[in-house]
Structures are given as C-alpha cells and as structure tokens.
Structure 1
Amino acid sequence: MNSDLDTDAAAARALFQSLEGMEGLHRPEPAPAAKAQRFPGQAALTKLYPGVLVAGTIALASTWLSQHYGAPVMLFALLLGMTFHFLHQEGRCIPGIEFSSKAILRFGVALLGARITAGQILSLGITPIVTVMIAVVSTILLGAFLAKRLGLRQGFGVLSGGAVGICGASAALAIASVLPRDKDGERDTILTVVVVTALSTIAMITYPLLTAALHLDQTKAGVFLGGTIHDVAQVVGAGYMISPHTGDVATYVKLLRVSMLLPVVFAIALLAARMLPGGRGGAKPQLPLFLVAFAALVAVNSLGWLPKAGADAATEVSRWCLVTAIAGLGMKTSFKDVMTAGWRPVALMVVETAWIAGVVLVAVEWFL
C-alpha cells in the first residue's frame, strides 16, 4: 500500500517534469516498438506511396486538361510536374518520385510491345520498312554528329535523335534510361520531351497541308505522316484528318517506327557503356529487362495469343505509366535548369526533324 510520502514524491516528480517541458528542455522519449509488417513489402510501399500518389495525381490532372483543351498530355504532365519541383528537394515524396521516373517508366515502355504485331509490319511492304530503318538510324547518327559541332554532349544528340526518329517522348524516356547518368541528364531528357512534343504538334497541323501541296495520294501521304511525325497520337490525328485509309497506313508505319525501339535502345545501351563519357568502359552491358518484356509482348501479340481486350488494356496502362513517369521526371527538374540549356538543343532538334522529313519524302516520291 502506498504511503503519503510516496504520493508526495510522485507529485513532486510530475511537477519537475512539467517544469522541464515549460522551460523547453528536451525529455528523451522511449523508442517506439517496431511494428510488425501486415504484408510483405509494406515498408517499401509506405516509403514510396507519397511520391507515386503525387505523380499519379498530376497524371490524372494532365489527362483531364488534355481531353478538355486538346493539348498533348505529355506536355501538361511535364509542366505541372515542374511546378511541384520543391517536393523532390526534401521530404517524404523523394523515393516515390524516383520510383515513378524510373521503374514505372520502364514498365510503361515494356507494355508498348502490346501495340505491335509482325503482321502489321510485314503488311507495309519492303519499301516503307527500309525507309523507316534508314530514317531512324540516320537521324540518330546526325544528332550525335551535330551535337559535338554545336558544343553539346554527344549523349544529348543520341537522345534527341532517337526521340525524333522513333516515337517522341516515349523513345526519349526509354533511351534516357540506358544512357550514362550525369548531372545534366535529367535536364536534357526534360528538354527533349518538351521540344519533341512541341515539334510533333506543329507537324500534326502542317504536314497534312504539305502532303496536299505535294499532291501525294492517300497511301503516300500515310507513309509520309507515319514516318515523320514524332508522337503516336499526333500521327493518328494527322492521318485520319485526311482519310481513314491514310490514317490506317500512317498508324502502321508509326508502329513500325515504335518497333525500332527494341534494337535501337539495346544498341545505344551497348555503345554507351563502351564509348560515351560516364559509361563503364569495356564492361559488358546487360540487356535491360524492360526491353525483354517489350520483345516478349510483340511476339505474343504476333502469335495471336494476346486478345484484343488484353492488348487494349496493356496500351491504356502503358499510357498511364508513361504520363506518370513524365510527371515524376518533371518534379525532378526545375525551370531554371531547363532555361540554362540555351538555343542550341532546340536548333539541333529542328534540324533532326527536317532531316527525317526529307529522307522519308524522297523515299515516298521516288521509290513508293
């Protein structure tokens, strides 16, 4: 049984503790007991979900804005993401933002394979296939060559040439994921996506007028549009603006360019590891798993094992993943960093765009 003395001692201890708190003195708290995980991966999920949630919310807002105002969704995601750059400077969102801009990006690129079948590519005939291969490879080589002459990093020339030559923002993200990491890499990726999206939108408006001025028939116009416009959505918009047949041909040619993503990204990964600054010298590069998944989906879809509903679902998930990744990449980059790039990167991408248009136009006029 407690005595009065014990009661007084306890009251005095409580009084002194309250006085410590009033004076601002720090009282060490007992360490909280470690909570048992309710399911595997709970710790990782808890760490990642704030940043992923923010990136997903930006992707959702960008999609709504794109649907209501008709501007490219990737551009909205980039600009909105960059306004939330402060979330990547400190705080709980950093791990999730990094995860969105890397892991979710690669998953989205892998799912692009669900769009393509070997039958679609072979149905075009040999001339469009050869034309696309020459146009893509020559545009990347031109970018690497001119980048050094303009005082830019050679890696930027490869990145911008691949984005212009293959499929715009999606290709830029895929190529950036295998290039050597450096302090300017993320800024260059953001700049490439912004410029290639703007150029693609301009091309969607002007190229149908160009095909009419050159008196190209519907098939030739489809090959030209699919072989030159950067983003898939803009190709579809420009093609069906002319006719359903032109839209179908343009879409198939564009998917042929998308299929070049696998060999081109792997070749860039191989060469970057050996030749570009920041690479691993003579180290043997490994085939990125997302490219393996991309190739597997192309094969499965070509064999007819992937139902149309599954292919459509994979395409939609891929779109959401890429928009989320763009939002994450935007949050990692500040407007100030992008503005320091100057006019040379923009000039390079304009020249690359004019080059691929010229190559495809010559092929269409003389060999198709």
Structure 2
Amino acid sequence: MLATLAKRGPGLGAAVATAAGGVAVATQMPESLHISGIPCSLVLGAVANNLAPANIRQALQPGVKFATTTVLRAGIVAVGAKLSATQVLALGWTTVPAACASVGAGLVAIPLLAKGAGLPPRLGALLAAGTSICGVTAIGATAPAIAATQAEVAVAVANVVAYGIAGMLAYPHVARHLFPHEDSKNIGLFLGLAVHDTAQVMGCAASYAQTYMDEAVVAAAAVAKLTRNCFLAGVVPLMAARHGATAGIATKAAFPTFVLGFVGAAGVRTAGDVYFVGDDATRWKEGANFVGGALGTKCLLATGLAGVGLSVDASAFRSAGVRPFLVGGAGAAIVGGVGLASAQLLSRLRPE
C-alpha cells in the first residue's frame, strides 16, 4: 500500500496541483467567456509536460496514469448526481425528441466527416461525443472506453472549447432575432441544444437573460442541457462496442462499467428529488449538486483531465493540423442547426 502511494504520489500530486493552477488561470479570464478550470488545467498540464525533463516525466507517469483512469472515471460517476429526470419532465416531454434529433445528427454526421477528412476513427468518435453531448465531460468519458490517445483527447477538448465559446457568444443574438421574444422555453431549448459544454450553456443563457431581461431562459437551457447529458449513458457503451475491436480491446472489457455508476448516481438523484420535500428537498439538492459539481466536476474531472494534459506530447498534437478543427466546426454547425430547427418547430407547435 505504502509502496503504491509512493509510486503514484508524485504524479497524482502534480495532477492535483495542475488542476488547481487551471482553476486559478480560469479565474483570471474574462467573465464573459465563461471558461472553466477544466480546459485550462488540461492546457497547463500539456505545457508543463512538454517543458519538463524526461526523467521528471517518467517519475510522474504512474500517478498521472492513475489520474487519467481511476480519478477521471470517478468524476464521471459523481457528475451523474447532477442529473434528474424530474427536471427534464418539468420542461416538457418534447425536450427529449428535440435532444434526440440534435445529438443523433452529431453522432451520425461527425464520424462521417472525420472519415472523409482522413482523421483517426477514435478522434472522430471523441469529436462526435464532445460536440453532440456535453463537451469535455463526454470526451473524458469516451476516451478510456475506446483507448483514445492523450493527444486525441487534447485535440478534441481544444475543439469543443473553441466552438463552444463561439456559439456561446453568438447564439443569444441569433435566438433573439429568430424566436418570438416571449418564447422563453424554446429559446432556452435552442441554447441548451446548440452549445457544447455545460458551463458554456449556462454562460450563454445568462448572457441572454442579462441582455434581454428574461431569466426564464436560464432554467429552460439548463434542463435542455441536462437532457443532452443523459445520452452519455448510452453513447459511451456504443462507442466502446464500435471502436473497441479496432483499439485491440475485447468488447466485454471495453464496456465502461463506470457508466453504470453514472446511471446509478442519476437514478439516486432522481429518486431523492421525488422523495424529499420542503427543507429536506433543499438540503438534498444542495448535497447532490455538491457531489456532482464541486466534487465531480471541479475536483475529480479537473484532476483527471490535468493528468491528460500531463500526458500530451506536443509533437503529436501539432501533427493533427487543421483538419480536426474543420470537422469540429462543421459538426458544431450541424448540431446547432438541428437544435435551432427543433426549437423553432416546437415554438410553432406550442407557442408561449
């Protein structure tokens, strides 16, 4: 036990420190960009890894590997505590088919675009998951299931962060011009389906609310994004089955058991939301949100993806070129376009 801790301690400590540094960097970024500490920690880790001497990198490897596997997967399980079916139902059942259309379009189109551009299939899978479902979290969940390289993870993360920020800045103004001003639910639905990462969705909706004085959009966008996030439970096993053989993984071994933990955490959250009432319900939701947010996202996921950064070789990253970003841009346009079309259709079917 002590020998294992001694072996993993330096690398795990480096990942924790890098995650903390990423949070510190994120706090210095303009608030309007709503950039979380997770992508910052990954970039910081990649920079540190490529500046460190070879003997230091070798000493850190056992702990860094632990961060990119066990810690990252624990983070995915914890994130499930933020997901509640009762919130989805509160917005209306039509949110589900709208999310199916948007997510499905990305999962089908992006791997085809990646193949046409000559990208590795695993990178196409990461771009599809990140763009279609929930940005960095989806990439972090999919990567170990398909044996993606750390360079592929880094490229995919950079992609969804860049296009997520672009959508976050542009879509509030698009929504204002294309939807009836009083249609808060479908404006929020569009924003929740079109922007990649959860933090970016919330920033996008908050920007709309502040600019156009419509706080109801924030709740609708959050629930729409929550609905998208639920697809993670089905898509990761699908990607594992599709890419496991080509990655040299047996299908049974490739099935990510941590996804069961993710589903279980979401089930416990849903059951608690139904069972508890009054002050107990408030305390329950605060506790569940702490597990999913502060513990799962800010601590475990940030540490795991800092470890990914500490594993990245810059030469492999440079070799990717511009093609992943062209595919990612096209994929973002497809997912956002289907989200827009779905929300506009629902706006006409159920005007507010």
The TM tier, using the shorter chain, reads 0.7 to 0.9
Q: 1:127 deviation in Å?
A: 1.9
Aligned length: 322
Separation in 2 of the partners of 1:329 and 1:280?
Answer: 20
The counterpart of 2:20, out of the listed 53, 60, 66, is 60
What's the counterpart of residue 24 of structure 1?
none
What's the counterpart of residue 261 of structure 2?
293
What's the counterpart of residue 234 of structure 1?
200
What's the counterpart of residue 75 of structure 1?
39
Once the two structures are superposed, the pairs formed by residues 252-331 of structure 1 within 5 Å of their partners are: 252-274=223-245, 277-280=246-249, 283-285=251-253, 287-304=255-272, 307-314=284-291, 315-319=293-297, 320-331=299-310
Separation in 2 of the partners of 1:88 and 1:300?
Answer: 46
The counterpart of 1:138, out of the listed 79, 87, 105, is 105
TM-score normalised per structure 1: 0.83
Separation in 1 of the partners of 2:54 and 2:271?
Answer: 47
Separation in 2 of the partners of 1:88 and 1:268?
Answer: 36
What's the counterpart of residue 192 of structure 1?
156
The counterpart of 2:322, out of the listed 339, 343, 355, is 343
Q: 1:73 deviation in Å?
A: 1.9
For the 8 Å contact 1:109–1:170, the answer to whether it is kept is: yes
Q: 1:110 deviation in Å?
A: 0.8
Q: 1:286 deviation in Å?
A: 5.8
The change in CA–CA distance for 1:280 and 1:45 in structure 2 (over 3 A counts) is closer
* Deviations 1:321-342 (CA, angstroms, capped at 9, x unpaired): 1111111111111222211101
* Deviations 1:139-158 (CA, angstroms, capped at 9, x unpaired): 11111111111111222212
Which range moves more in the overlay, 147-156 or 302-311?
302-311
Please identify the structure whose Cα radius of gyration is greater. 1
Separation in 2 of the partners of 1:357 and 1:138?
Answer: 10
Q: Once the two structures are aligned, what percentage of the paired residues are identical?
A: 27
Which range moves more in the overlay, 81-90 or 118-127?
81-90
1:98 is the counterpart of 2:65: yes
What's the counterpart of residue 168 of structure 2?
204
Question: Residue type matched to 1:364 in 2?
Answer: A
TM-score normalised per structure 2: 0.87
For the 8 Å contact 1:88–1:94, the answer to whether it is kept is: no
Which range moves more in the overlay, 159-168 or 75-84?
75-84
For the 8 Å contact 1:207–1:225, the answer to whether it is kept is: yes
Q: Helix, strand or coil for the counterpart of 2:145?
A: coil
The counterpart of 1:353, out of the listed 326, 332, 337, is 332
Q: 1:51 deviation in Å?
A: 0.7
Between the two structures, name the one with larger relative contact order (CA 8 Å, sep ≥ 6). 2
The change in CA–CA distance for 1:180 and 1:94 in structure 2 (over 3 A counts) is closer
Separation in 1 of the partners of 2:16 and 2:174?
Answer: 38
Separation in 1 of the partners of 2:324 and 2:63?
Answer: 30
The change in CA–CA distance for 1:364 and 1:174 in structure 2 (over 3 A counts) is same
RMSD: 1.8
Q: 1:204 deviation in Å?
A: 1.1
Separation in 2 of the partners of 1:334 and 1:196?
Answer: 20
What's the counterpart of residue 212 of structure 2?
none
Separation in 2 of the partners of 1:144 and 1:192?
Answer: 13
Separation in 2 of the partners of 1:289 and 1:75?
Answer: 25
What's the counterpart of residue 115 of structure 2?
148
For the 8 Å contact 2:184–2:216, the answer to whether it is kept is: yes
